[in-house]
Amino acid sequence: MKIIDGKAHHYVKFLVYGCQMNVSDAERMAGQLAAIGYERLSDDAAMDEADLLIINTCAVRETAEDKVYGKIGEIKGLKRKHPQLIFGITGCMAQKESDSLIKRAPHIDFVLGTSKVHELTKVVQEIEQERGHIVDTDLTETELPDGGPIARQGKLSAWIPIMYGCNNFCTYCIVPYVRGRERSRRPEDVVKEVEQAVAQGYKEVTLLGQNVNSYGKDHKLATFAELLKMVDKVEGIKRVRFMTSHPKDLSDEVIDAIAEGEHLCEHIHLPVQYGSNHLLKAMNRVYTVESYKELVQKIRARIPQASLTTDLIVGFPGETEDDFAQMLDFLKEIRYDSAYTFIYSKRSGTPAATMENQVDDAVKKERLNALMAVQNQISLEINQSLLDSVMEVMVEGPSKNDETVWTGHTRTNKIVLFDHQDEQPGDFINVKITHPQTWVLKGIRV
């Protein structure tokens, strides 16, 4: 707390782990807290500046949980120095571990599950007055309150959740157990939030969901394709993105909407996870290598300029040398622009955690390195094909390493670096690509 002009100012710091949905959840929590006098500290602010400290957690991989436990231990000393500090855990790990977190670390004041974040202000106020522990991780599948305040962090791009939860139950994934069943927001509420973001100066929105392609299957008020068209028509919007798409639900109507839309970006993140039918079945992905390839052919025929990215898991239980060889062949055939690659991580409570034929860690690492080497070469070759092309870039600001070199993204979600002239964040400029590299494109303004 600081006293400024005779008034007490309270500060909250968020430590956010995991996916974009967690980033969005933190923005909504910050909006709630602002209403009771808490100002959000920047990501690089020291933890001891905060009156309220919240870790918004991820439970998808063991490494994310390990980082959280390490940070919880670090905060124990901070609480000893500042006993009035309120410390809470939210997000997927909070949902999964519940009151066991406080049993393990009694300096935690509250644990709130994924469907309870709208009660954050009430919980904080109770702890301010009475001190003690609060745990609420009942996983309700009712519609979450809409229209609450949002304290967005960025200035150009806004995260807009369109649905919560997941119905797919992939055998490796904890998400359905910690986020609940799918609940789609009403289309008018999504459109209203996009309109508000545009009015606040945001140029780009990303529509978020565990599987955006199944949006609306619950309330049947609009399909995902129809929602995309509604958002595309919002006056003043410049770019519309979305993630993540499950291949089993990506319809021809969605592909057509992107092809015909004015502001819908030509980038589809389409997680395949693996390139052999044996492992796709073991993962319960509900599609085959063949059907996935057909879907990619449809996308590329209808949207030739589209970039395609994916998620890949190596070391899933039962993965054989033959499976991995099929994976590499699949990768060379599909030719993704880029891929997020992961080593399989056991998640207690999921079917895959108890499967036989768990893969040795050394083999996992070896296969991951081989996979990345193939993908990096493909990414480089695709980017090299863009040499001398001119691409529209949304200017974002200085790069991390050199203030004279600025950065931005293309509609196809590629990072472009260019020498700064008079551009300002939010400008749209044309850049000629002169030095394509594996992960970035370098160019000059034209």
Task: Read off the pLDDT of each residue in 286-301 and give the average, rounded to a whole number.
Answer: 98
- What CATH number does residue 368 fall under? 3.80.30.20
Task: Read off the pLDDT of each residue in 9-28 and give the average, rounded to a whole number.
Answer: 94
- What CATH number does residue 34 fall under? 3.40.50.2300
149 is a domain residue: no
| Structure confidence at residue 62 as a pLDDT band (50, 70, 90) | confident
Query: Could you tell me the CA-to-CA distances from 282 to 172, 348, 355 in Å, in that order?
Result: 9, 17, 10
What is the maximal distance between C-alpha atoms in the chain?
70
237/291 same-domain check: yes
Q: Where do the DSSP E strands lie in 21-71? A: 38-40, 52-57
* Predicted local confidence at residue 140, as pLDDT: 75
339 is a domain residue: yes
Query: Could you tell me the CA-to-CA distances from 398 to 203, 391, 416 in Å, in that order?
Result: 18, 19, 11
317/432 same-domain check: no
The set of residues, in sequence order, having a beta carbon less than 8 Å from that of 321 and lying 6+ positions away, is none
Of 384, 411, 431, the last residue of a domain is 384
The residue ranking higher by pLDDT, 116 or 338, is: 338
Distance, CA of 72 to CA of 78 (rounded, Å) = 10
197/325 same-domain check: yes
Among candidates 232, 174, 236, 162, which has minimal Cα distance to 202? 236
147 is a domain residue: no
Percentage of residues in the chain with pLDDT exceeding 90? 91
Percentage of residues in the chain with pLDDT exceeding 70? 97
Task: Read off the pLDDT of each residue in 389-412 and give the average, rounded to a whole number.
Answer: 96
Q: Which burial class, exposed, middle or buried, applies to 218 when counting CB atoms under 10 A from its CB (0-12, 13-18, 19+)? A: middle
Query: Could you tell me the CA-to-CA distances from 317 to 6, 280, 287, 333, 363 in Å, in that order?
Result: 61, 12, 19, 24, 12
* Predicted local confidence at residue 109, as pLDDT: 97
Q: Which SS3 state, helix, strand or coil, does residue 425 take?
A: coil
Is residue 323 within 8 A of residue 279, CB to CB? The reply is yes
Taking the CB of residue 143, how many other CB atoms lie within 10 A of it?
Answer: 14
**Residue 182 CA, distance from chain mean position:** 17
| Structure confidence at residue 146 as a pLDDT band (50, 70, 90) | confident
pLDDT at residue 142 greater than cutoff 70: no
Distance, CA of 85 to CA of 101 (rounded, Å) = 18
| Structure confidence at residue 39 as a pLDDT band (50, 70, 90) | very high
In DSSP terms, which residues pair with 444 in a beta bridge? 432
Is residue 141 within 8 A of residue 186, CB to CB? The reply is no
* Predicted local confidence at residue 437, as pLDDT: 98
pLDDT at residue 412 greater than cutoff 70: yes
116/262 same-domain check: no
126/275 same-domain check: no
The residue ranking higher by pLDDT, 98 or 148, is: 98
Is residue 444 within 8 A of residue 431, CB to CB? The reply is yes
pLDDT at residue 250 greater than cutoff 60: yes
322/429 same-domain check: no
Query: How confident is the prediction for the chain on average, in pLDDT?
Result: 95
| Structure confidence at residue 9 as a pLDDT band (50, 70, 90) | confident
Distance, CA of 306 to CA of 303 (rounded, Å) = 5
* Predicted local confidence at residue 5, as pLDDT: 54
* Predicted local confidence at residue 6, as pLDDT: 54
Phi-psi region of 227 (alpha: psi -120 to 50; beta: other; left: phi over 0): alpha
Is residue 150 within 8 A of residue 28, CB to CB? The reply is yes
143 is a domain residue: no
76/219 same-domain check: no
Annotated binding site for [4Fe-4S] cluster: 19, 58, 92, 166, 170, 173
Task: Read off the pLDDT of each residue in 171-181 and give the average, rounded to a whole number.
Answer: 94
Query: Structure tokens of 60?
Result: 């998808």
Task: Read off the pLDDT of each residue in 425-446 and give the average, rounded to a whole number.
Answer: 98
175/270 same-domain check: yes
Annotated binding site: 19, 58, 92, 166, 170, 173
pLDDT at residue 2 greater than cutoff 70: no
46 is a domain residue: yes
428/305 same-domain check: no
Is residue 154 within 8 A of residue 426, CB to CB? The reply is no
Picking from 70-84, 140-154, 212-226, 227-241, which range would have the lowest pLDDT averaged per residue?
A: 140-154
The residue ranking higher by pLDDT, 9 or 269, is: 269
Question: Residue written as tokens 């509250």?
Answer: 110
- What CATH number does residue 421 fall under? 2.40.50
37/176 same-domain check: no
Query: Structure tokens of 262?
Result: 């004015």
| Structure confidence at residue 118 as a pLDDT band (50, 70, 90) | confident
265/175 same-domain check: yes
Per the structure, the count of domains in the chain is: 3
141 is a domain residue: no
Measured in Å, how far apart are the chain's first and last C-alpha atoms? 50
Picking from 190-194, 268-272, 282-286, 348-352, which range would have the lowest pLDDT averaged per residue?
A: 348-352
| Structure confidence at residue 231 as a pLDDT band (50, 70, 90) | very high
Is residue 248 within 8 A of residue 284, CB to CB? The reply is no
Q: Which domain holds residue 405?
A: 390-445
361 is a domain residue: yes
119/230 same-domain check: no
305 is a domain residue: yes
Q: Where do the DSSP E strands lie in 17-51? A: 38-40
